[in-house]
């Protein structure tokens, strides 16, 4: 729990160099994943995956394509636990992260990536704006 909390605090930290804080957050999330396994702590594991995706989306250092691929992978892993019925808002937030990553994705076919982004945003809207049907 402490590593996960430290990671979140580092991610949101205002003081200090932004990229340094993000590196600390990634390191802390990696430590948290050693404790929060999917088998033993699925909800916490998914939360760590979700926030790790947010960090990779925020990074400006390193290879942008690699950061986006990591964000996609982390989001997809979080969605192995977060489903619309049991975790609607976490599911929707993770769908939004996934959509953002696909909309900026460098690898793969641009049209396919944008279609995936639209599909993920539409899923998120099922929770955020359930009366709208697209």
Parse the chain into domains and list their residue ranges.
2-128
Q: Please name which of 8, 7, 49 lies closest in space to residue 28, comparing C-alpha atoms.
A: 7
20: left (phi over 0), alpha (psi -120 to 50) or beta: alpha
| Tens digit of each residue's pLDDT (9 = 90 or more) over 47-65 | 999 999 999 998 888 899 9
- The pTM of this model reads 0.82
Of 11-25, 27-41, 97-111, which gets the smallest average pLDDT? 11-25
Per-residue confidence band for 117, with pLDDT thresholds at 50, 70 and 90:
very high
Output the pLDDT for position 7.
Answer: 46
Residue 1 has pLDDT above 80, yes or no: no
Cα distances (angstroms) measured from residue 4 to each of 9, 14, 36, 47, 97: 9, 18, 9, 9, 19
Cα distances (angstroms) measured from residue 88 to each of 2, 10, 20, 84: 26, 26, 32, 4
Over residues 97-110, the mean pLDDT reads: 98
Per-residue confidence band for 18, with pLDDT thresholds at 50, 70 and 90:
low
Residue 41 has pLDDT above 70, yes or no: yes
- Regarding the domain with residue range 2-128, which homologous superfamily does it belong to in the CATH classification? Tetratricopeptide repeat domain (1.25.40.10)
């Amino acid at each position: 729990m402490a590593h996960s909390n430290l990671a979140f605090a580092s991610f949101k930290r205002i003081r200090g160099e932004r990229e340094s804080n993000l590196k600390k957050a990634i390191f802390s999330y990696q430590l948290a994943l050693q404790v929060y396994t999917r088998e033993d702590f699925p909800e916490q594991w998914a939360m760590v995956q979700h926030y790790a995706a947010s960090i990779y989306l925020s990074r400006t250092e390193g290879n942008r394509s690699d950061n986006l691929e990591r964000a996609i992978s982390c989001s997809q892993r979080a969605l192995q636990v977060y489903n619309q019925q049991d975790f609607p808002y976490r599911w929707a937030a993770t769908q939004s992260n996934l959509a953002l990553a696909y909309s900026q994705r460098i690898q793969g076919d641009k049209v396919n990536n944008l279609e995936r982004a639209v599909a993920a945003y539409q899923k998120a809207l099922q929770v955020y704006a359930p009366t709208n049907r697209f």
